[in-house]
Amino acid sequence: MQLSFSQLNTYQTCPKQYEFACVKKIPRQISAGESFGSSVHNTLSKWGKLEVDRGKRKVKSNQLALFADVSEETPLSLTASTLSLLWHQSFIVQGYDSKEDADSARKKGEVLMQKFFDWWEKEQREVLVIEKGFSIEVDIDIVKGRFDRIERTNGKLIIIDYKTGGIRTQEEVDTDLQLSIYALACEEILGEKCDELVLMFLQADGITEVHTSRTEAQLNTAREIIGSISERIDDENFEPTPSESACKRCPYRGVCAASVV
């Protein structure tokens, strides 16, 4: 079976939500939170690609240094003002209840981008991967996903995943299935194990990094979880698992008989 992490996560949240979204494919509107998160990811993807381009240009510039007649278009510089520009270019207005809500989110993003820039300029970073999709075999299943960012900093290979929601506990991050999938994919695609996995929570009051890693035993547990979810989906086991927190965020609560909110 072919599954994305989003599908795996939806099923873990509630099998009935998975059925609505992935089997019955009931259309839904994008939420304000999803819209803001997509805007942030799109901005930082463009920023990361500028970083990669800068690295390539440095190499090319060194190779062509003897040729005085070589000229190229000057790329955007890696400054706080450039990051702010990318934010405004990438901001998605859909999903908000009013223009006032959208304007408020746009201003919140301006502050958040300055916080990110302050974090970014603290260290020299070698960017290896930005917004790269992957597809890996996990036993008999195919799992698809996308890296936000992989960098090598202070000799460590680090996978960073951006989050704009509430900060999670260390225990939650240590057992996060998405990060386990990233660890599996990194080894398969880059040919080496990652040293650290980071959930980076981007908020207007600051950047919070929660670091973790994965042992082989933890990766085996992730493989088992994926296999179990795949089997239950194949068996069409879509029994709902309602809870106040899950139902409150579910876009299908208005059509679900099991919803508790």
Statement: residue 260 has pLDDT above 80: yes
What pLDDT shows up at residue 204? 85
Assess if residue 113 is contained within a domain.
yes
Q: Do residues 113 and 84 make contact, with C-beta atoms less than 8 angstroms apart?
A: yes
| DSSP 8-class letter at 65 | T
Least confident piece of the model among 70-79, 118-127, 137-146: 70-79
pLDDT tens per residue, range 96-113: 999 999 999 999 999 999
β-pair type (156-163, 196-203): parallel
Q: Bigger pLDDT: 199 or 71?
A: 199
Percentage of the chain surpassing pLDDT 70? Answer: 92
Single-letter code of the amino acid located at 79 = T
What's the gap between Cα 64 and its chain centre?
A: 37
The whole-angstrom separation of Cα 136 and Cα 82 is 35
pLDDT tens per residue, range 7-36: 999 999 999 999 999 999 999 989 999 999
User: In terms of residue numbers, what domain contains 122?
Assistant: 2-249
Q: Do residues 252 and 28 make contact, with C-beta atoms less than 8 angstroms apart?
A: yes
What pLDDT shows up at residue 57? 67
The whole-angstrom separation of Cα 261 and Cα 253 is 8
Assess if residue 261 is contained within a domain.
no
The whole-angstrom separation of Cα 169 and Cα 175 is 10
Statement: residue 196 has pLDDT above 90: yes
Best CA proximity match to 209, nearest among 156, 134, 158: 158
User: For tokens 């547990």, what's the residue?
Assistant: 221
Q: State how far the alpha carbon of 130 is from the alpha carbons of 13, 60, 69, 209, 241, in Å.
A: 28, 20, 32, 18, 35
The whole-angstrom separation of Cα 119 and Cα 243 is 36
What's the gap between Cα 133 and its chain centre?
A: 11
Assess if residue 206 is contained within a domain.
yes
Least confident piece of the model among 55-69, 85-99, 235-249: 55-69
Assess if residue 260 is contained within a domain.
no
Give 226's contacts (C-beta < 8 A, 6+ positions apart).
3, 8, 138, 139, 141, 143, 177, 181
The whole-angstrom separation of Cα 14 and Cα 179 is 20
Assess if residue 255 is contained within a domain.
no
Instruction: Report the CATH number that the domain containing residue 202 is assigned in CATH.
Output: 3.90.320
What pLDDT shows up at residue 56? 72
The whole-angstrom separation of Cα 185 and Cα 145 is 9
- The total number of structural domains that make up the chain: 1
Assess if residue 230 is contained within a domain.
yes
Best CA proximity match to 1, nearest among 17, 13, 14, 18: 18
Q: Which run of H or of E encompasses 148?
A: strand 141-153
Instruction: Kindly state the average pLDDT of the residues 56-81.
Output: 63
The whole-angstrom separation of Cα 218 and Cα 9 is 17
pLDDT tens per residue, range 75-98: 789 999 999 999 999 999 999 999
